[in-house]
Structure 1
Amino acid sequence: MYLNDLFSSSSPIKVKNMPHLVAVDSRKISVVIQGPLYRNLSPQRNIFACIASVRTHLPHAEVIVSTWCHEDTSTVEADQLIMSDDPGAFVDDAGNQININRMLRSTLCGIQAASRPYVMKMRADHNLTSPALAVIGQPDDANPGETCLFETPITTTTLYIRDPERLPMLFHISDLVQFGARDAMLAMWEQPLFERDALFNDKPSRNPFGNFIGYTSARMVAEQALMLGVMHRSGIDARLARPCEVGLSNLKLWDSVLRCNFRVLNHHEAGVDFPERFLTGSHVLKTLYKATDIHQLRSLDASGYRLRIARIWLNQYVLTCLRPGWWISSATIVLFSISPTFAKRVRSYWRTFRKVAHAQSYRV
């Protein structure tokens, strides 16, 4: 009902390649800043800078900080402070932390506390540069067989929604910033915490063939786990045996879910100042969808999908030597198979050199 009121009382704003988007008044918005506060990350990137940016660009929004009981919240000026027990992270075979349960708990607790009809989800190491993300699109007229998870679509950005023709990963939704009706955001994030056996296979994969993830036993990455979780709760039994598994039926399903349930803005046009480490790898950014690519998925027919899956498999299994991500993935398999300790040291130096090390040592 929020969307009907919004479209009847407002004029659609013009957003490049995304028709029928409507700006939402900040009086109707709760902004949930979830996870660690990054108090000392840098003068320009911390909880205080984040809140200030929200106050500047969404001046009447309710600001909710949802973080952990051990975080220092002194002098944090928010409308609500939600303190939760930290559920911890999973650690994969290569020593990477997978923070899906942290993200689920802090985000959900913040959304549940929201008192406004629309909710924006973001992190303390992000800043707003405009209100561009605070837009809502009307649902499409769903074709038979298409899957609608939410009554109204959720707005997000292309960072990191992988184009499987460039990096073979399905169900890889962007979890950094999202905006939507409170009911839709609850449907997205109201999931039980994951058990380890739901995310990991018994042993790591050492097969480099078609593998762009490297040395890990993870069955799916956090973004995939989030998306598959909400789909399972809607009765859709999609599964992955490994993160880079791509089949025709899952490809069609993911294209339909992405197109019907999300309105995606190009990340550089979304009014969000993302951490520098997310934007430094040009070869990584080239693996992302563009907003126009997602909009055009609707036009694919059976022959179009046969051509699409052929291109994906060609890039995944034949032209891998042309993909920098595959060489990096294969190097991790070799190094971790020889010496995990040495491999972690090399990876840490590599990430520090390329300025992609994770803040607060979530990835080291």
Structure 2
Amino acid sequence: MKPDTSMRMSDFSDISVVVQGPVQSFQDREQEPGITQKCLESVRRHLPGSTLILSTWPGQELAGLDFDRLVISDDPGSNVRFFGRDGAPHRFNNNRQIVSTREGLKEVTTKYAVKLRSDNYLTGNNFVALQRAYPKRTSTHCFLKERVVVSNVFTRQYAKGFRVPFHLSDFFYFGLTEDLKALWDLALFDDAQDPIRDSEDTLFTDYPPDCTQMFWIKALRKFDSSLSINGLLDRSPLKMNQSDLCFANNLIIASPPELGLGLCQKFLGTARISRTKGQCAQWQHWEWQEIYRRYCDPDFPKAPASVKANLFLKRLVHVHPVKLETLFKLHKIRRISESGSIK
């Protein structure tokens, strides 16, 4: 079913766009030259009348950039989530993502908001109509006031050959401002301190959860503190069902072309996420429609059998064979951990 794309230009005055992240290369985060200017210009082109908020860091080159409001936040620095098996700290930009998004959203006064990375851009505005196209919801796991539209890039169905729960992308969000604030008004991650107590072997049952899983779980626990995962592949039937219910009731997942989202060069071409193997591991929009039909609207049309078969064959070739490699690695890791030796 195609969403109703009829809208008035004045509708965009109810939208603010928070462009978050570095403008130029920032410490350990390289930026494609000119990408933020391209991002801001795309918002003006595709969402005329919207409010444009740039949320970034001190010392950024802002000359020539077009925005309505500027938010400058102190850099919280990278955070150490855990220590590796070799004792080395594993650093992430989780807290930077939270701060630049959270502080930008605090400045939003419109009913709706977009969270957009400073190294991506808009190619259209179909996400506005998409957000209105799926009105039915269930009585459980319905945490947000309205659905939030997200990108399927890094919203994974599969990781390391297995289905995984709660693996939601942090690239793009569109929805009610109060819903986006609920999702991104997060406490910062504490730094791991002890290489033994905070090692990945001690903390997790398999592989460490992906950063995107951690953001989503951290937000969902505001509504249901029982939701949790203890590893990337923590995929019991209960948790997979919880994950699907949360996706079906609170989100709409679609690809960049379906949304009107453009990606910077590092996510295109030969990048892993752009290859067939990476793309077919992600949620497809029709797969999200399937869980919407299953949980929310039994009368919603099923996807064509040919579409399902095509994706099944791709995953048979590119996704499922990785399971054996993953099982072998996990067995090896557990043997080393049990023996107390690190190699």
Q: TM-score range by the shorter chain?
A: 0.7 to 0.9
Cα distance in 1 for residues equivalent to 2:125 and 2:240: 33
Deviation at 1:46, TM superposition (A): 2.0
User: Which string of whole-angstrom CA distances, capped at 9 and with x for unpartnered residues, describes residues 126-148 of structure 1?
Assistant: 1111112233226644334x211
Q: Which amino acid aligns with 1:176?
A: F
What SS class does the counterpart of residue 183 from structure 2 fall into?
helix
Does 2:82 correspond to 1:88?
A: no
Cα distance in 2 for residues equivalent to 1:270 and 1:90: 31
Alignment length, in residue pairs? Answer: 292
Residue number among 77, 92, 104 corresponding to 1:98 in the alignment: 92
Residue number among 200, 203, 213 corresponding to 1:204 in the alignment: 200
Structure 1 counterpart of 2:298? none
Cα distance in 2 for residues equivalent to 1:117 and 1:168: 35
Structure 1 counterpart of 2:181? 186
Structure 1 counterpart of 2:279? 285
Deviation at 1:184, TM superposition (A): 1.1
Cα distance in 2 for residues equivalent to 1:225 and 1:21: 33
Q: Which amino acid aligns with 1:275?
A: C
Structure 2 counterpart of 1:115? 109
What SS class does the counterpart of residue 233 from structure 1 fall into?
coil
Q: Which amino acid aligns with 2:198?
A: D
Structure 2 counterpart of 1:252? 241
Q: Is the 8 A contact 2:150 2:174 kept in 1?
A: yes
Q: Which amino acid aligns with 2:112?
A: Y
Deviation at 1:236, TM superposition (A): 3.4
Does 2:71 correspond to 1:71?
A: no
Deviation at 1:21, TM superposition (A): 7.2
Residue number among 221, 229, 244 corresponding to 2:218 in the alignment: 229
Structure 2 counterpart of 1:29? 15
Q: Is the 8 A contact 1:108 1:190 kept in 2?
A: yes
What SS class does the counterpart of residue 259 from structure 1 fall into?
helix
Q: Which amino acid aligns with 2:41?
A: A
Cα distance in 2 for residues equivalent to 1:167 and 1:107: 31
Q: Is the 8 A contact 1:320 1:326 kept in 2?
A: no
What SS class does the counterpart of residue 157 from structure 2 fall into?
coil
Q: Which amino acid aligns with 1:194?
A: F
Q: 1:114 to 1:298 in 2, by over 3 A?
A: closer
Unaligned runs of 5+ in 1: 1-16, 302-314, 338-342, 344-364
TM-score calculated relative to the size of structure 2: 0.74
Unaligned runs of 5+ in 2: 296-314, 337-342
Cα distance in 2 for residues equivalent to 1:242 and 1:272: 30
Q: Please, which moves more after superposition, 54-63 or 164-173?
A: 164-173
Q: Is the 8 A contact 1:158 1:266 kept in 2?
A: yes
Aligned Cα root-mean-square deviation (Å): 3.5
Q: 1:294 to 1:113 in 2, by over 3 A?
A: same
TM-score calculated relative to the size of structure 1: 0.70
What SS class does the counterpart of residue 108 from structure 1 fall into?
helix
Cα distance in 2 for residues equivalent to 1:53 and 1:253: 36
Cα distance in 1 for residues equivalent to 2:2 and 2:83: 41
Structure 2 counterpart of 1:309? none
Cα distance in 2 for residues equivalent to 1:298 and 1:223: 22
Cα distance in 1 for residues equivalent to 2:178 and 2:49: 21
Q: Which amino acid aligns with 2:200?
A: P
Cα distance in 1 for residues equivalent to 2:219 and 2:246: 11
